[in-house]
Structure 1
Amino acid sequence: MFKKSKTIAALALAALMIAGVQQTAEAAARYVLTLAGYEIRVDGIPYADKDLPALSYNGSTYVPLRKIGELLGDKVAWNTAAKRVEITPDIPLYANPAFRVTSVTGKDGKYVISGQGRIFEAVMSYRVIDGTRVLLDKNLTLSSGAPSWASFRIELTVPKEQLPKDGTLHIELYEVSMKDGKPANVLPVFLQTW
């Protein structure tokens, strides 16, 4: 009797194992992802990451959420309390293909300009103009270059004697063209009017 029970238990265990292997194989077969064999562009920028490649399954393309958010200049965070991923767009006040300005504060010669740049070789330039004169012309190195967006914060102090008596003060963000050395992607940003 003991031998018969042992045989039945072994057969039952074998049946469960075979069913489990079959279910695992079926599940694996349903979710076989392949490398996407085509170009993917995010906001005009090609997506390429050897460590986290784009994958394809059943006519759909899968790209890591954090990477897409970063390419778009959005904030991607895990909300532990709600147990979810949250993507928050940083809506710019001023924007072009190379710059997104999200905050401009200050007055009377002291200003702070914050945003993001997507600049070749990570070197952005800026100049402060009073309408006719260039008061400042500087460069700023960002933490990374294109195709990624990198944050910047510019703190300006324009001496009181250089401020216009009647006119408008603005800053122009730009990158220097590698072709001809001229300003490219110029983005004018209003600072103050007198």
Structure 2
Amino acid sequence: MKRNFFLGIFIVLFFGLTGCSVDINISTDDKKPDVIDNGNTQEEEDQKQYENNAFKEVSVSKSNGNVIVKGKARVFEGVFQYAVISGTEILQENHYQTEGAPAWGSFEITIDKELLTKEKVSIELFVYSAKDGSKTDILTIPLK
């Protein structure tokens, strides 16, 4: 009787401790992009950098009224898509070819100033999934 009692306690403790040591990792695509802010002043606001798993060191600057988005991408066959959007309206959509993964390929995209006349304009950098065609690794960056 005592033996069964101690065996039962041992089993409960063993499975309890084993269950507590299981590492649960939940991943979602709804994560906001990481923004690296170096505590810059308002003049240096354009020096913010954005990143996620597929894009890094992405920054936004202005030149002659146009917006320039620069960064690095690590994407399959070096191809990713981008869309300039205002709310739900797509103002421009295109793709970019850079160096393929596993390397980080540099990119530079120039957004015409004519597209910046709308409200809340942003750019989405993303990859189409080879599995189902859905957008993955979406990095949304406000342009104005």
**TM-score per shorter chain, which class?**
0.5 to 0.7
- Partner of residue 141, structure 2: 189
Change (3 A) 1:171 1:186: same
* Deviations 1:93-130 (CA, angstroms, capped at 9, x unpaired): 11100001432012896210000000001101000001
Distance of 2:113 and 2:74 partners within structure 1: 26
Letter in 2 for 1:189: I
Q: Could you tell me which of 125, 128, 136 is aligned with 1:176?
A: 128
- Partner of residue 152, structure 1: 107
- Partner of residue 111, structure 1: 67
User: Which residues of structure 1 form unaligned runs of 5+?
Assistant: 1-90
Equivalence map 1:27-176=2 (5 Å):
93-106=49-62, 110-142=66-98, 144-159=99-114, 163-164=117-118, 167-176=119-128
- Larger Rg: 1 or 2? 1
- Aligned residue for 1:159, secondary structure, equals helix
CA RMSD of aligned residues (A): 2.3
Letter in 2 for 1:171: I
Distance of 1:182 and 1:141 partners within structure 2: 19
* Deviations 1:33-57 (CA, angstroms, capped at 9, x unpaired): xxxxxxxxxxxxxxxxxxxxxxxxx
Cα deviation, residue 189, structure 1: 0.7
Letter in 1 for 2:143: L
Distance of 1:185 and 1:179 partners within structure 2: 14
* Deviations 1:104-161 (CA, angstroms, capped at 9, x unpaired): 012896210000000001101000001120000000110x21111110000111526x
Change (3 A) 1:92 1:168: closer
Q: TM-score, normalised by structure 1?
A: 0.46
- The structure, 1 or 2, with the larger RCO (C-alpha pairs under 8 Å, 6+ apart) is 2
Kept after mapping to 1: 8 A contact 2:122/2:141: yes
Kept after mapping to 1: 8 A contact 2:50/2:59: no
User: Which residues of structure 2 form unaligned runs of 5+?
Assistant: 1-46
